[in-house]
Structure 1
Amino acid sequence: MASSTVAESEMEEEIKLGSYGGKVRVLRQDEESAAAETMLLWGIQQPTFSKPNSFVSQSSLQLNLDACGHYLSILQSPSSLSTPGVTGSVMWDSGVVLGKFLEHAVDSGLLLLHGKKVVELGSGCGLVGCIAALLGAQVTLTDLPDRLRLLKKNIETNLRHGNVRGSAVVRELIWGDDPDQDLIVPFPDYGDN
């Protein structure tokens, strides 16, 4: 038993990444662990710098990335950040990580989104909802009234491809108000906040 453990540990290569000098396990192509890839990305981005966003520049007018075999271009409105309480006008690292996690979870068979009803609360710029729709979900993206124009533009821009497996609609939802019945009946398979 001990020799088996030694053999396995010798096969795993660890390298130092980031300014903090922490060791991370090198991922092999045959590994399909979203958690491992997320931790690797986190390590590469040197979290000790305490930057609020390492993947996303909130001063940029758009974020470009590949997801689900599509090139996505997410528009941002950095000037809106000066308004107190407005966070849905720019992308956050958490949205990028969640979107890529969904993509890897579906690709590896850990999650099935095809045909599932998904309601995203506080969709902001809409990246996660776009990815869920590309993965086959029937997505309702919600946000406050003053955020819907940017959200709709991002959905229209990124989901106009002919090979989108799911669908996406944008709806107004103010937290604390009673939601429209079509948001909750039938109850969503998944919800994101």
Structure 2
Amino acid sequence: MTSENEFSRTVKLADIGAGDMKHNIAASESERAALSERFDLLSLEKLEAVITVSATEKGISAKGKIWAELVQACTATGEPVPDSIADDIDLLFMAPPQHGEDAEIELLPDECEVIFHDGKVVDLGEAAAQSMGLAINPYPRSKIADEKLRAAGVKSEEEEARELEARKAVSGPFAGLAGLQQPKNKP
């Protein structure tokens, strides 16, 4: 079976028995380059996973851990920001709902994520890539981002909040009365 995923490590459903099957997977250099492009990274130095799969009543359970070493561009300065990910994964591969079946799947907040399979294979590589994508920091900041932003005249949220409060105090509904003084009593 050919796959369109940059990092594909498929396991045939027919090969998954009642017992646990442990899979160690790692993305090659070319796969990491393609994933870097997909996730808008400057580089992806490592993507590895250890995933144990087993058949359950609901589908194929996939539990394990992913590790990634990556570099993103700082959202403020564009400078490289290295990051490491070590994240647990708990997935359930299910067949997509058939026509006429209720397509809604309810999961409790502490339950696993659901990925639909094609009825033939589950793709552990794609599952690892998606799990990494969810764990990537959406707003990476370099150590000098605040300094560069301040130099460019951008205020921090705290500074902006203080100035807003000061403006509210000066321009409130009774601001015009602030200049009035009580008349002094003369003897």
TM-score normalised per structure 2: 0.21
- In terms of Rg, which structure is larger? 2
Higher RCO structure (Cα 8 Å, ≥6 apart): 2
Structure having the larger proportion of residues in strand: 2
Structure having the larger proportion of residues in helix: 1
